[in-house]
């Protein structure tokens, strides 16, 4: 079980309260977790990563275990603590005004 915490804007958009728990088939990677997330909440397609290129949107960051995973490859394994659900994957809107 993977735990994902989304920023408030995306929780409101997808009508999610609290954190999301996902079952991911195979290895837990950024790509597989985001695929599972978008499958359950189709309105999140395009909100975290580009719909066409599948690249992370520039002002979205991915954190876990006090590390910035934003620049890791999409198919790199997530930290073990995330893979077993003891730590969440944080989807964060970049800190900037607007």
Partner 1 sequence: MSRVRVLVGTHKGAFILSADGKRERWDVSGPHFAGWDIYHVKGSPAQPNRLYASQTSAWFGQQIQRSDDGGSTWEPVGNAFVYDGVPGTHQWYDGTPHPWEFARVWHLEPSLTDPDTVYAGVEDAALFRSTDGGRNWHELSGLRGHGSGPAWQPGAGGMCLHTILLDPTNPERIFVAISAAGAFRSDDGGTTWRPINRGLKSEQIPDPEAEVGHCVHRLAMHPSNPNRLFMQKHWDVMRSDDAGETWAEVSGNLPSDFGFPIDVHAHEPETIYVVPIKSDSEHFPPDGKLRVYRSRTGGTEWAPLTTGLPQRDCYVNVLRDAMSVDSLDPCGVYFGTTGGAVYGSNDEGDSWTPIVSDLPAVYSVEVQTLS
Which residues of this chain interact with partner 1, rule CB under 8 A?
Answer: 7-10, 12-13, 43, 45-48, 50-52, 57, 59-60, 93-94, 98
- Smallest Cα–Cα separation from 54: which of 78, 33, 39, 74? 74
Q: If 0-12 CB within 10 Å is exposed, 13-18 middle and 19+ buried, where does residue 38 land?
A: middle
61 versus 83: smaller Cβ distance to partner 1: 61
CB of 57 to partner 1, least distance (A): 6
CB of 85 to partner 1, least distance (A): 25
CB of 77 to partner 1, least distance (A): 26
10 versus 83: smaller Cβ distance to partner 1: 10
């Amino acid at each position: 079980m993977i735990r994902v915490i989304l920023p408030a804007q995306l929780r409101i958009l997808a009508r999610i309260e609290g954190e999301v728990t996902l079952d991911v088939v195979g290895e837990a990677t950024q790509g597989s977790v985001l695929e599972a997330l978008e499958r359950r909440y189709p309105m999140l397609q395009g909100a975290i990563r580009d719909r066409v290129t599948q690249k992370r949107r520039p002002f979205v960051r991915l954190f876990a275990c006090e590390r910035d995973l934003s620049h890791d490859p999409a198919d790199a394994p997530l930290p073990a603590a995330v893979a077993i659900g003891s730590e969440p994957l944080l989807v964060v809107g970049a800190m900037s005004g607007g």
